[in-house]
Amino acid sequence: MADTQTPGGQTLLFLTDEQLRKGIEAMFFAYRGFTADPDRILDEYRLGRAHHRALHFISRAPGTTVNNLLSILGVTKQSLNRVLRTLIDDGLVESRVGTRDKRERHLFLTESGTALEQELSTAQRERMRQAYREAGPEAVQGFRTVLEAMMDPELRHHFNRAKDSSDE
Amino acid sequence: MADTQTPGGQTLLFLTDEQLRKGIEAMFFAYRGFTADPDRILDEYRLGRAHHRALHFISRAPGTTVNNLLSILGVTKQSLNRVLRTLIDDGLVESRVGTRDKRERHLFLTESGTALEQELSTAQRERMRQAYREAGPEAVQGFRTVLEAMMDPELRHHFNRAKDSSDE
DNA sequence: GTTTTATGTCAGCGTTGTTGACTTTCCAAG
DNA sequence: CTTGGAAAGTCAACAACGCTGACATAAAAC
């Protein structure tokens, strides 16, 4: 990767379109791998990626409201509602009317919801762990740094929300 | 990132579930940013991401066959066919019957197809360039390494196909 | 106490993925 | 030269998951 130091010490990158295109393709192919294992499991349950995302974030923040989930997932409430309906009908998620504000619904994973989320998460974590192992610790640091820089500022906010209780 | 050296010199990574989950969320949020700019442009043309992917890989390998595109994109021919039909009807892609093997169709971008591909690619490359600039050269190297490790071996093959004429 | 805002639900539509059945074209092996 | 099979395309139906619009209800604001 071509780079030089300015007299001021700032690192400059000279990035060809070709290098950037390879990065774009890497994202495309890697994302396919990233979702492949959960997708296989979801098929067995007749669920899709949207259900996985909902399970993931409900698991991360039990009792979260529909509205909060909405802003994290970046879809319309109607779209999320259909997904939640399926999950509730399947007994994977429980929706409790808010005590302070009865308009709100607080979302929790049921026992079987927790089990499925674990199954999905384990498969995806194993893929991630394997990739991290192959790549090595400095690569992982770089990976995370570039991904964070690629996010929309608004989304980065959601990402960093739970970061405190994390790895650094 | 926790890591130690074994007496043998191999680097071991101790990765908590929490660290891996953050990596998973980073992929999720970053991919949203990654596709956000092209999605906005595609909306104006009443096209979707599937069309963008087809344009990208036809642009990368002009004259590629439908079958080759199929194995790269990993969708069914029926699904790809609908996308190609739209692109051909819109005058963005040209399909030429093969000379050596007349069963094959070779795909090329038209002038306006090239223009749209450029517009999409430029938007996406700018996002990528910005992220690379923010993260710095070592981070970029790590990013690419982890992404490649995350791919399915079969997909990695497609990725490396055009790598020779690339950056290393 | 009526209006406005927030939240969630129901109905319907578009894109893009899927499978299955079928036809046409054409290369190549027998 | 015929036939088997690969490549490409079409039609139909369906599922997942985005979207908009219309609407009910709860809470807040006036």
Full pLDDT tens readout for chain B, 168 residues: 555 555 544 566 788 889 999 999 999 999 999 999 999 999 999 899 999 999 999 999 999 988 889 989 999 999 999 999 999 999 999 998 877 777 788 999 999 999 999 999 999 999 999 999 999 999 999 999 999 999 998 888 889 876 544 444
The two structure tokens encoding residue B142: 């790590």
Alpha carbon distances (Å) from A88 to A91, A106, B164: 5, 12, 50
Q: Which of residues 79 through 118 in chain A touch B, CB cutoff 8 A?
A: none
Q: Nearest CA to the C1' of C6 belongs to which residue?
A: A103
The position carrying tokens 């223009």 is B115
Q: Round to whole Å and give the CA distance between A146 and A138.
A: 12
**Burial tier of A138 (Cβ tally within 10 Å: 0-12, 13-18, 19+):** middle
The two structure tokens encoding residue A142: 């770089």
The count of CB pairs under 8 A between chains A and B is: 222
Could you tell me the distance in Å between the CA of residue B104 and the C1' of nucleotide D4?
Answer: 19
**Is the C-beta of residue A85 closer than 7 Å to nucleic acid chain C?**
yes
Q: Round to whole Å and give the CA distance between A54 and A151.
A: 20
The domains found in chain B, sorted by start residue, are 34-158 (1.10.10.10)
ipTM of the prediction: 0.87
Q: Are B93 and B87 a contacting pair, CB within 8 Å?
A: yes
Q: Round to whole Å and give the CA distance between A73 and A58.
A: 11
Strand partners, A5: A11
User: HSE of B164 in the Cβ direction (CA atoms, 13 Å)?
Assistant: 4
Q: Round to whole Å and give the CA distance between B33 and A4.
A: 28
